[in-house]
Chain A
Amino acid sequence: DAMVIQNPRYQVTQFGKPVTLSCSQTLNHNVMYWYQQKSSQAPKLLFHYYDKDFNNEADTPDNFQSRRPNTSFCFLDIRSPGLGDAAMYLCATSGTLTSTDTQYFGPGTRLTVL
């Protein structure tokens, strides 16, 4: 009964080669988030979708894009991965954007850039 699923769990890509990470949810939540978490650091929010409305954090590089084709799925596209983009990428969902709503996290995708 997994609720937030991320595929793949481990992804290896080459420097500059586009890569897509996938997130799906069975919770029917309106909001989906993408976080970047580097080793021994706090998760950093990249962007989120509230339904179809996309909200990009001000300091998220243009190299990072996202798509949400339907309620259940959200994708993170890294157009030209650099060595500094190697990290754990966490997907999360919540019913609403308010602080009363718990965010449910997926297990993450660990991205390695060679």
Chain B
Amino acid sequence: AQTVTQSQPEMSVQEAETVTLSCTYDTSESNYYLFWYKQPPSRQMILVIRQEAYKQQNATENRFSVNFQKAAKSFSLKISDSQLGDTAMYFCAFMKYENRDDKIIFGKGTRLHILP
């Protein structure tokens, strides 16, 4: 069975700083997807970034980038130039590759506070 672990329940950083959220996972699969989802207070969860396990290049989306270490089963999210609107719960998630019968496995989340 797959598991996703986020070791930082809560973090706070000053606006404009860079912050890294940690995630590790366990799987015996060789092909899979990893995700970071953002859930702002009282708003819907949205996909921030997606990484395909067979791609060595780390995914980036504007200020958001990942450090994907497949051998170490590590998938951290870096937020550069953090903004107040980045305050949210962040979930790391895993899904098998192209499998109709599988589901997203979420970590327990990291609550991120961006301080003015």
Question: Which A residues are within 8 Å of any B CB, using their own CB?
Answer: 4, 40-43, 45, 48, 55, 57, 90, 92, 96-100, 102-103, 105-108
Contact = CB atoms under 8 A, between A and B. Distances in A.
Contact of B46 (A45, A48, A105): A105
Interface of B: 4, 9, 32-33, 42-47, 50, 91, 95-104, 106-109, 111
A107 B44 CA distance: 4
A90 B45 contact: yes
Q: Interface SS of chain B: helix, strand, loop or mixed?
A: loop
26 contacts: A40-B108, A41-B109, A42-B91, A42-B106, A43-B45, A43-B91, A43-B106, A45-B103, A45-B104, A57-B103, A97-B100, A97-B101, A98-B98, A99-B32, A99-B97, A99-B99, A99-B102, A102-B47, A102-B50, A103-B104, A105-B44, A105-B45, A106-B44, A107-B43, A107-B44, A108-B44
